[in-house]
Amino acid sequence: MPHLVQTLTHYAMTSTIRAAATALFVHHSTLQDRLDHAERLLGWDIRQPAGRCRLQLALAERLLPR
């Protein structure tokens, strides 16, 4: 899925799915489908507070210098 990281980043940075969909210029149903796919790949629910925090930490870790 070519837009997975971008989708997850926008979702993690915004307060709602609709806000993230607007930022990505996609319909909120499309974003829901992308998030469903991401959850299947990751193995955890990113829509729950603990999962969202875990997602934010994982995305922040990607920005650390190696």
Closest CA to 4 of 30, 35, 50, 25: 35
Map tokens 């875990």 to a residue: 54
Closest CA to 45 of 19, 1, 11: 11
- The per-residue pLDDT for 38 is 96
Closest CA to 35 of 62, 16, 8, 56: 8
The predicted model scores a pTM of 0.88
Give yes or no for a contact between 58 and 45, defined as CB atoms under 8 angstroms apart.
no
What pLDDT, in 10s, does the model give residues 12-51?
A: 999 999 999 999 999 999 999 999 999 999 999 999 999 9
